[in-house]
Amino acid sequence: MVKYICFCMMGHDFLKLDLEQRQNHIPEWSNIANKYGLKLLFWGPAMGVKEHAVFVFDSNGNTEKFFIFQREWLKLGTPEAGKYIEYMRTITVH
């Protein structure tokens, strides 16, 4: 199984939201992952790194779909890009 550990620097618009509003985005993001055959295993505050949050996804063996998912999740190529997630760095674990 391949897992992706994604450390995310959250955008200014996301950081302005209260905790409940932030948590409301998680099911939406999980649904986007599911659409590409990924499963959101964990999310929470990141510790020991400069990024705000960490998300862990399981690809169920299909590594190509993660990159397609990533474009939609981060809204790359749209005016919404960077609004909630400014940038992300990913560690792939086999």
What confidence tens digit (pLDDT) does each residue in 22-35 have?
999 999 999 999 99
60 band by pLDDT with thresholds 50, 70 and 90: confident
* Maximum alpha-carbon separation in the chain: 36
| Distances 83 to 3, 9, 13, 48 between C-alpha atoms, Å | 25, 11, 6, 24
Neighbours of 14 (CB within 10 A): 19
> What CATH class has 3-93?
alpha beta
19 exposure class (CB count in 10 Å sphere: 0-12, 13-18, 19+): exposed
| Rounded-to-integer distance, Cα 7 and Cα 81, Å | 16
**Taking the domains of the chain in order of start, what are their residue ranges?**
3-93
The pTM score is: 0.91
Residue 62 has pLDDT above 90, yes or no: no
Would the pLDDT of 61 be above 80?
A: no
